[in-house]
Amino acid sequence: MRAEAVIEIEDLTVRYGRLHAVDRLSLEVSRGSVHALLGRNGSGKSSTVRCLLGQQRAASGGARVFGFDSWRQRARIMVRAAVVPEHPDVPPAATAERLSSFVARVTPRWRAEAFFSRLETFGVPRRTQFGRLSKGQQRQLALALALAGSPDLLVLDDPTLGLDAVARRSLFEELVGELADRGTTVLITTHDLAGVEGIADRVGVLHGGSLLVNEDLEALKARWRRVGWRSGEEGRPETIESALRHLGPVGAIVDGAAATVSAFTEPGFERFREESGVEVTRVDPMSLEEIFISLCGTDHGGGA
């Protein structure tokens, strides 16, 4: 494993019977980065995270965290890692105050003041039993617990699930502040693409258990565009289709006058304009959500 890689997943394969939930996935997460792993339900995200955390054994391949084998050396990994799972596993009768007292005894870098400060920011009461909190408050409490342990690696499994717009914004603001202060490495799976777009350095997209995309977010956004045009006498459909090869078209041309492209460059764009015989009317950048839909919006993917 490279010295700067906190996570290394190599040829990871997960099967459930004949179903390949994850198919030979390889992925690295660099130290101090925020890496978003995206995918529709059933794309293989949960299986990947479980293998990464040593909760599930892969059919083949594997994962290493801090240089330790995830399946064989899980205890050594979890000393330095914190997890916010999709469904927080906290005793229903526990209060935030009792949780703080317990975690302080087993977490060397526990910061009680930071824990209670975050609870106050989130509006989560410290003396209410966990089981009586709303689902959103439970997730906010789980994040506060994870961050207050000063982890070197934070794994977030859809952390904004169940939160309203205000709570989602507050959560991401807290996360950004923590990352700026400590340089914590983060792996996040989420459906909140607009929220993660503001904090992710790198994005991987899983679909049907395979990794379709894995690159820097800004590089990804730079090569995706929505191009529209007005056809003249020279702009025959077959000519336009041929010229679009310079831009990497994705899917069908809409009404013969627009296309989503995934390999946009200025030289390629100029060649498209020269060869297509059309008048370009717009070249629009695309959000992460729009790119994701273009990549994964056609069918239902694969494994869990």
Q: For the chain, give the mean pLDDT.
A: 90
Q: Say if 51 falls within a structural domain.
A: yes
173 and 262 inside one domain: no
Contact (Cβ atoms closer than 8 angstroms) between residue 115 and residue 107: no
Q: Does residue 303 fall inside a structural domain?
A: no
Whether residues 179 and 259 share a domain: the answer is: no
Neighbours of 132 (CB within 10 A): 12
Confidence grade of residue 1 (pLDDT, cut at 50, 70, 90): very low
Cα dihedral 151, 22, 168, 79 in deg (nearest 10)? -10
Residues 71, 190 within the same domain: yes
Compute the average pLDDT of residues 222-229.
95
Same domain, 232 and 149: no
Distance CA 214, CA 220 (A): 9
Q: Are residues 61 and 150 in the same domain?
A: yes
pLDDT band at 191 (very low <50, low <70, confident <90, very high): confident
Mean pLDDT of 152-159: 92
- Please give the Cα distance from 16 to 11 (Å, whole number): 17
CATH number at residue 134: 3.40.50.300
Domain count, the chain: 2
Residue 249 lies in a domain: yes
pTM of the model: 0.89
Q: Is residue 263 part of a domain?
A: yes
Where helices occur in the chain by DSSP H, the ranges are 45-52, 74-78, 96-106, 112-122, 135-148, 165-182, 193-197, 217-223, 237-243, 266-276, 288-296
Instruction: Name the band, by pLDDT with cuts 50, 70 and 90, for residue 302.
Output: very low
Judge if 117 and 137 occupy the same domain.
Answer: yes
- Give pLDDT tens digits for 236-274: 888 898 999 999 999 766 566 899 999 999 999 999 999
- Are residues 171 and 273 located together in one domain of the fold? no
Chosen domain end from 193, 213, 233: 213
Residue where one domain finishes, among candidates 213, 235, 256: 213
| Whether residue 264 sits in one domain with residue 135 | no
Check residue 300 and give its pLDDT.
Answer: 42
Q: pLDDT tier at 141 (50, 70, 90 boundaries)? A: very high
User: pLDDT tens digit string along 25-61?
Assistant: 999 999 999 999 999 988 999 999 999 999 999 999 9
Domain housing 182:
5-213
- Average pLDDT in the 10-31 region? 94
User: Across residues 6-26, what is the average pLDDT?
Assistant: 94
Note whether residue 260 is domain-resident.
yes
If asked whether residues 206 and 238 sit together in one domain, one would say no
Q: For the residues 120-129, what does the mean pLDDT come to?
A: 94
Where does a domain end: 171, 187, 213? 213
Do 191 and 111 lie in one domain? The reply is: yes
Q: What is the pLDDT of residue 299?
A: 53
Give the CATH number for residue 232.
3.30.70
- Integer Cα distance of 220 and 68 in angstroms: 31
